[in-house]
């Protein structure tokens, strides 16, 4: 348990040291936007998720080739994780959220190691909050 707390603390320290208030607000907005997407599409079809992903990336200037590669990679990763075809669209939405967080943190100058710690801390925090809700 101590190790989990350490990761959450390290993640918090990294964010405190590297991000200003505006960046924290942007991260919160990404989280809210992703939550809205999940709420609006609680059991999405693959086609719906591909439309959401494509729209997001087109708005951000990504090429159609990038989008196609991203979608295919997300699908392959879902299969590799052993997810059912029913769960794959939700996983793709989750991958989009992680991608958005990672890209933002990378743009803010965090290293890959720092990003890994931050994302691990976020996952652990979400898991502990979910346990508290049960």
* Residue-by-residue pLDDT tens, the chain, 134 positions: 456 668 878 888 888 888 888 888 888 899 899 999 999 999 999 999 999 999 999 999 999 999 999 999 999 999 999 999 899 999 999 999 999 999 999 999 999 999 888 888 877 776 666 666 55
Q: How far is CA 26 from CA 1, 38, 70, 81, 108, in A?
A: 30, 18, 23, 30, 11
Q: Distances from the Cα of 112 to the Cαs of 115, 119, 131, in angstroms?
A: 5, 10, 29
Q: Which two tokens stand for residue 41?
A: 């599409």
Q: Domain ranges for the chain, please list them.
A: 2-133
């Amino acid at each position: 348990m101590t190790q989990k707390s350490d990761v959450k603390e390290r993640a918090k320290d990294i964010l405190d040291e590297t991000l200003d208030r505006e960046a924290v607000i942007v991260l919160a907005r990404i989280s809210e936007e992703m939550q809205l997407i999940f709420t609006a599409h609680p059991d999405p079809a693959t086609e719906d998720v591909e439309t959401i992903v494509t729209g997001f990336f087109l708005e951000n200037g990504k090429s159609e080739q990038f989008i196609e590669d991203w979608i295919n990679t997300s699908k392959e990763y879902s299969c590799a994780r052993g997810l059912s075809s029913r769960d794959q669209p939700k996983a793709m939405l989750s991958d989009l959220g992680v991608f958005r967080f990672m890209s933002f943190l990378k743009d803010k100058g965090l290293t890959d190691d720092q990003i890994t710690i931050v994302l691990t801390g976020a996952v652990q925090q979400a898991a502990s909050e979910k346990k508290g809700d049960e």
